[in-house]
Amino acid sequence: MKIKEIRVIVASPGRNFVTVKIITDEGLYGIGDATVNGREKAVVAYLEDHVAPCLIGRDPMQIEDIWQYLYRGAYWRRGPITMAAISGVDMALWDIKAKAANMPLYQLLGGASRGRIMCYAHAQGRTIAEVVEAVQEKREQGFAAIRAQAGVPGFESIYGIRKDKKKLTTLAKALPVEEVWSTSEYLRHIPKVFEKLRDVVGWNTHLLHDAHHRLTPIEAARLGKELEPFRLFWLEDAVPAELPEGYRLVRQHTTTPIALGEIFNTIWDARQLIEEQLIDYIRTTSVHAGGVTGLRRIFDFASIYHVRTACHGPTDVSPVTMGTNLHIDLWVPNFGIQEYSGYREATHEMFPHAWSWKGGYLHPGEAIGHGVDIDEAVAEKYPYKRAYLPVNRLEDGTLWHW
Ligand code: EZ4
Ligand code: CO
């Protein structure tokens, strides 16, 4: 079998997705996700100009060799753009291999270790009352685990929460929205949110929170400590992780479990955090951390340090990544949880998929391959639109972490 053609499809059924389609001379094809939110076209150029020409004519069964060829062979290793391109190719090749083997991907990985995959939903609101309502709504839908994000009084927009129409105009111009942030106000407010949530929902629902890289280690340590009475499932991305040893301080001060790694691209980004047992959940996901090949390596490594998996699964990773993650989730022995933000109708339409969601649980389905396809005619209806994530500033104007 030989790789005959590689198509890179960019479409925006509500948000931009970059999809790789690898077609073989035997008619089998595979699909991969290569989306980097806000920098999509860089991956498209990387794939079209630099990757595809090298792969035509190669044997698609040689997944490991192709992975190493694209990783070591580029000389310039790692980084989100390179790794998204490798991930997209890798997912498509595993899809082809599983189709050739006439098996769902999870069978090739070693078979199912569980019957269903626990996932968590997002709930958010500007006021505590709104957050409570949003969490209750997710509970009614059957979610056993819910990430709660709250606005901070006096601040217009906080991560994931936006209210005014003005912001939508800025979004329409497709430039980054600017938000304003105060760590001290946030730290005072968040424990009150979880105190109220525990009062209302009791102890049978897992509650999670994402600090989105905005704290210093000592601030994260204090937040973790103050949240201990409310028994969070985890505190996510408390501190930027370029300095992994910063997490030692967090760890020394709190028993609130720590989750990290949605923006990591390789095992090297996660190595020290895992080895020193500074985190409890590793959040790498197939589109950003090297596809099935990269993710499997990270997760096996994590398993010997008591670190469990928690694949990133926001709306900006495509249903192809979701499907791929679900096959890994079903197999991986040290599974923790899967993030699931859901998708718009147009996204489901563009990516027909065998995976399914019911209440708080997901399953990859029994289709051969990873079970996710792309409808190229539907993709044509939704052309790419430039779009960015917001940026974040302190009240004095200093650029901060979003
Ligand atoms: O903000 O994927 O846990 N989930 C998250 C996400 C990220 C987006 C950025 O593109 O933090 O919602
Ligand atoms: Co996050």
Does the CB atom of residue 389 touch ligand 1 within 6 A?
yes
Ligand 2 centroid from CA 341, angstroms: 11
This prediction has a pTM of 0.96
**Predicted local confidence at residue 171, as pLDDT:** 52
391 CB-contact burial (10 Å; exposed 0-12 / middle 13-18 / buried 19+): middle
Ligand 1 atom 6: the closest Cα is on which residue? 314
Ligand 2 centroid from CA 301, angstroms: 22
Does the CB atom of residue 262 touch ligand 1 within 6 A?
yes
**pLDDT tens per residue, range 91-125:** 999 999 999 999 999 999 999 999 999 999 999 99
Does the CB atom of residue 38 touch ligand 1 within 6 A?
no
- Would you kindly state where each structural domain of the chain is located, as residue ranges? 3-103, 108-368
Structure token digits, residue 56? 């035509």
Residue type, position 138, single letter = K
User: Residues with Cβ within 5 Å of ion ligand 2?
Assistant: 210, 262
**pLDDT tens per residue, range 138-181:** 999 999 999 999 999 998 776 766 655 555 554 556 799 999 99
Task: Identify whether the C-beta of residue 310 lies closer than 8 Å to the C-beta of residue 119.
Answer: no
pLDDT grade, residue 206 (50/70/90)?
Answer: very high
**pLDDT tens per residue, range 208-244:** 999 999 999 999 999 999 999 999 999 999 999 999 9
| CATH number of this structure's domain 108-368 | 3.20.20.120
Ligand 2 centroid from CA 337, angstroms: 13
Nearest CA to 119 out of 152, 142, 103, 99 is that of 142
CATH number, domain 3-103, options 3.20.20.140, 3.30.70.100, 3.30.390.10, 3.40.50.620: 3.30.390.10
Ligand 1 atom 11: the closest Cα is on which residue? 212
Q: How far apart are CA 357 and CA 361, in angstroms?
A: 6
Nearest CA to 160 out of 187, 141, 134 is that of 134
Does the CB atom of residue 314 touch ligand 1 within 6 A?
yes
Q: CA quadruple 244, 248, 253, 254: dihedral positive or negative?
A: positive
Average pLDDT, the chain: 96
